Chains A and B, each alone.
Chain A
Amino acid sequence: MKCRVCRGPAVIDIRRHNAAFCDQHFLHHCREQVRRAVKDHQMLLEDDRVLVAVSGGKDSLALWDLLVELGYDADGLYLGLGIGDYSDRSTDAARAYAAERGHKLHEVDLAADYGYDIPSAAAATHRAPCGACGLSKRHLFNTVAIERGYDVVATGHNLDDEAAVLLGNVMRWETGYLGRQQPVLPDAPGFVRKVKPLIRLGEREMAAYCVLRGIDYIVEECPMAEGNRHLGYKEVLNALEDRSPGTKSAFVFGFLDRVHERFAGDAGAERAELGECSVCGSPTTGDVCAFCRLRERAGGG
């Protein structure tokens, strides 16, 4: 295959764009897709202080790299989850990337700072570890961003992630979640703005970006995510995409353009009912927020 731009040898083909690219034009393509996502959805202002949620995986490190390349003032936040060797290697990847590029990386450790880790939380709640992990991340990325003066939290959710979450939300008609599923969640009392600048790029593109940029990310899958529902949705969507390129993009952007508004009221109603957590002061619908309840049950409260 030849590069669509320069006709040199291609290193990656992207079937939904009916295009292939050489290394330099592929990197340009990635930057342009992020630039367009930021512009189309008004994600970032030029002088925003951006906190990138960094896991040590391909998406978050690529996102951090792309935002800095595009000129944004972006620091990283790594959350130590306590998932054995996997967390140790993830920590190493995040620290190595930041040190090599001279970027600022904040670190929070669940066990040291909050008295629990993801395996203990999953055991205590008898629920899937991904639920406790997601809850902890959402709470702490927001809290740290507010405490340390950042305007916005950027996460590495890519097109595949958004398509899989959308499929899951549709399969269960989670109308509140559907109302909140958008590339930008505006700031509100107790919440910083949250943005997903990789929404126009697939995870195959993000892995290729890291390879071509020499970013040493953790390739192995989180052992606690193995076999989870989200990965099952991704497999189904990839089977559809292989037969009909462009399916995932049409699913996500069709939803955002033509359907999302119908569910926005469900999400807005939930935010309107928020009070303050009696333990940590974060926004919550009850007396104690979900994070503090999780921490209490997992032995860290």
Chain B
Amino acid sequence: MRVLLRNPRREVEVPGPLTVAALLARLDLNPESVLVICGDTLVTRDARLADRDTVEIRPVMSGGAA
């Protein structure tokens, strides 16, 4: 599957199928720090992602301490 990552913006290929939780573990990402969007749909960590899917992993941490 095609996986879009941000900050910095980049794409990686990961073979599917696998769950969201497994994808995040493979990419060493904390599930608390990201949203996973498959196509246009938010998905939970038990969702199964197919090899043909396009997935965005969107970081959610922001900012200054102001």
Contact = CB atoms under 8 A, between A and B. Distances in A.
B66 A204 contact: no
Contacts of B44: 1, 10-13, 20
Contacts of A134: 64-66
A164 B30 CA distance: 17
* Interface of A, helix, strand, loop or mixed by DSSP: helix
How many of chain A's residues touch chain B, expressed as a range? 35 or more
Interface residues of B, number: 24
Contacts of A160: 61
B7 A211 contact: no
A185 interface: no
* Interface of B, helix, strand, loop or mixed by DSSP: loop
A231 B61 contact: yes
Interface stretch (A97-105, A187-195, A237-245, A284-292): A237-245
B32 A238 contact: yes
A221 B45 contact: no
A207 interface: yes
A220 to B, nearest CB: 6
Interface stretch (A40-48, A107-115, A222-230, A253-261): A222-230
B59 A221 contact: yes
12 contacts: A12-B42, A13-B44, A58-B60, A130-B64, A133-B64, A134-B65, A165-B65, A219-B7, A219-B58, A220-B6, A224-B64, A242-B30
Given A12-B35, A165-B65, A212-B42, 8 more contacts: A11-B43, A13-B44, A135-B66, A207-B60, A211-B37, A221-B59, A229-B65, A238-B61
